[in-house]
Amino acid sequence: MNDFYITRESYAGHYILALASQYYDIRKQYEGSLCYDFSNVDKFFINEKVKDVLEVDIPSLLEDGIKLLVYAGEEDLICNWLGNYRWVRAMKWSGQKKFKLAPKVKFIVDGAEVGSLTSHGPLSFLKVYQAGHMVPMDQPKA
């Protein structure tokens, strides 16, 4: 079976977690892999009724061992890295204390330091240097 990744950026990060949670719950229920056409996912998640129905539950995903990477550009003026880092650290889950004590390590790509990474268990936070709001565009290798 291939690895499966769900990614989004900016404000869509709020809704992609709901999608990940729903996908994971269904997959657990049916104990198999699922295939979705996500081409219209943006239209689906801007619907107010959908927003009200879906409950985003990051801690339950972490408790089940689902890996989560939250990344932010060091120079992002829209969603600053420090605010993102603070909500990740404040999130209540069984690994919260150890995550808060985890060291920041250099994140190296092609021999160059491109960020700092804090990780514990399935949760990682990456601050990407020389990147603004659109990290994948500003620092695609990172």
Query: What are the b/e assignments for 96-129, b being 16+ CB within 10 Å?
Result: beebeebeeeebeeeeeebbbbbbbbbbbbbbbb
Residue where the block lists tokens 């239209």: 43
pTM above 0.75, yes or no: no
Whether residue 119 is predicted with pLDDT greater than 80 in this model: the reply is yes
User: Which of the pair, 49 or 135, is modelled with greater confidence?
Assistant: 135
The whole-number pLDDT of residue 34 equals 45
The whole-number pLDDT of residue 72 equals 92
Q: Which two tokens mark 64? A: 């089940």
Whether residue 118 is predicted with pLDDT greater than 50 in this model: the reply is yes
Given a contact cutoff of 8 angstroms between Cβ atoms, the answer to whether 130 and 139 are in contact is yes
The whole-number pLDDT of residue 112 equals 96
pLDDT, tens digit, 9 for 90 and up, residues 43-94: 555 566 655 544 457 888 899 898 999 999 999 888 889 988 998 898 889 9
The whole-number pLDDT of residue 142 equals 92
The whole-number pLDDT of residue 14 equals 62
Geometric angle at alpha carbon 79, from 54 and 87, rounded to 5°: 60
The whole-number pLDDT of residue 6 equals 73
User: Which of the pair, 92 or 30, is modelled with greater confidence?
Assistant: 92
Task: For 102, list phi and psi in degrees, rounded to 5.
Answer: -65, 140
Average pLDDT of the residues of the chain: 80
